Amino acid sequence: MSDEIILTTHRDVEFDPETYVTTYYSRVAGEEGDMLTFFLDGLKNAFKSGAITGMKLLDIGTGPILHTAFCAAPWFEEITLSDFAHINLEFLQKWKEGEISHMDPVFEYLVEKNEKGMDVDKRQDELRRKIKHIVHCDVTLPNPIAATPVDGVVFDAITSSLCLEAASVTLDDYAKTVQNLSSLLKPGGHLVIIGVLEETFYRIGDVRFKCTYISKNQVQDIYKKEGFEIISLKDLKETCSSHKYLSEYSDYKNAFVMIAKKT
């Protein structure tokens, strides 16, 4: 590690949405073994059957990224986006108002793979229309969305991508975030989680953010203990025969897309 690179948490150093988007979302390789492609295919598969549907959807730790909400939008009426970093909330608001279009490569890949026959512009308009709230969230708190316009709402489904392991450092902290998130979901409601496995940090520019080091078995155990039935849990290594690590940016060993149901 160079002297200039620091190791910190999201509480101590502000998120940099522009660098994050450029580093991780500026291009979709569309190849087996590419992590973003694996995540996007996993999301597409999660939502394509229409089994995950309802009135209200919450995305936790959205950051500046809209891939989860984009895939879920055809199946929900009201979408709430949320994040700890206010700069990300402002970024998302700018996208909603049509001032920025940083997600185009991802949306184009998803629509190419989409079976509903709508083009990218129509899908983006639909998402903009359905995003009703963009709120501050702290998933480490018992009520992560306290004192926001959606305080007290119980959601039909929750999505979250690459947030829980970045919002916690120990396995106990991680389990608490799952418990907190679960309190916002109705019984029978679905959870779609994207996560990384066996990672201690990920990097944005010269900043390394600490993450909870968690294995696939530990993920399964925690969600089951918190009252979830795991419907599917696909990991990158078993799904793809080859995988290219972004070792410069993170020390993860694997990644997953999970669908679970609150029992």
Ligand X SMILES: C[S@@+](CC[C@H](N)C(=O)[O-])C[C@H]1O[C@@H](n2cnc3c(N)ncnc32)[C@H](O)[C@@H]1O
According to CB under 6 A, which one of 15, 38, 75, 107 is a site residue for ligand X? Answer: 15
Q: Which is nearer to ligand X, 61 or 241 (CB)?
A: 61
186-245 binders of ligand X (CB under 6 A):
none
85 binds ligand X (CB under 6 A): yes
* Least distance between ligand X and beta carbon 259 (Å): 16
Of 81-89, 114-122, 178-186, 236-244, the window that binds ligand X (rule: CB under 6 A) is 81-89
Minimal distance in Å, beta carbon 44 to ligand X? 15
Tell whether residue 88 is a contact of ligand X (CB under 6 A). Answer: yes
Query: Interaction with ligand X in 94-153: which residues (CB under 6 A)?
Result: 137-140
Query: Which own/partner pairs from 68-71 qualify as long-range (CB within 8 Å, at least 24 positions apart)?
Result: 68/43, 68/159, 68/160, 68/161, 68/192, 68/194, 69/127, 69/131, 69/159, 70/103, 70/106, 70/107, 70/110, 70/123, 70/124, 70/127, 71/43, 71/44, 71/46, 71/47, 71/110
Residue 167 binds ligand X (CB under 6 A): yes
DSSP 76: -
**Is 166 one of the binding residues for ligand X (CB under 6 A)?**
yes
Please give the Cα distance from 204 to 16 (Å, whole number). Answer: 7
- Residues forming contacts to ligand X in the complex (CB under 6 A) are 10, 15, 61-63, 65, 83-85, 88, 137-140, 161-163, 166-167
